[in-house]
Amino acid sequence: MAWCGKCKVAEQKNALKIQAPLVTRKQVAELLSISMRTVDRWMVSGVLPHYKIGKVVWFKVSDIHERLETKWEVGLKRSRF
C-alpha cells in the first residue's frame, strides 16, 4: 500500500473532526432544532460556549452537549413535575 502526502493530510483532518469538531451557528441551530436567533440568545446568556475567530463564531460539539446536559439537569431538578 502506497503512502502519499495527501492521504496523510486527509487522515489528520479526519482525526481533528473526530476529536473536537467545530460547527457554525447554522449547524448548531440544525443540530438542536432551534432557530439561529435562539442560538444567538443562548450565546449571549452563556448557555452555549462559543469561540470567535475573526468574524466567525464556532462551537465545539462536545462543549454544547456537556453544557446542555448540565443546564437541563438543573432545570429538571427545579421542575415540579
Tens digit of pLDDT for each residue in 2-51? 445 444 544 544 444 445 589 999 999 998 899 999 999 999 998 889 99
Instruction: Name the residue with cell 452537549.
Output: 65
In the prediction, which pLDDT does 40 show? 95
Torsion over CA: 60, 65, 27, 10 (sign): positive
In the prediction, which pLDDT does 11 show? 53
Q: Which CATH architecture has domain 20-78?
A: Orthogonal Bundle (1.10)
The residue ranges of every structural domain in the chain are 20-78
In the prediction, which pLDDT does 46 show? 86
Tens digit of pLDDT for each residue in 54-77? 999 999 988 888 887 776 655 545
Cβ-based neighbour number of residue 39 at 10 Å: 24
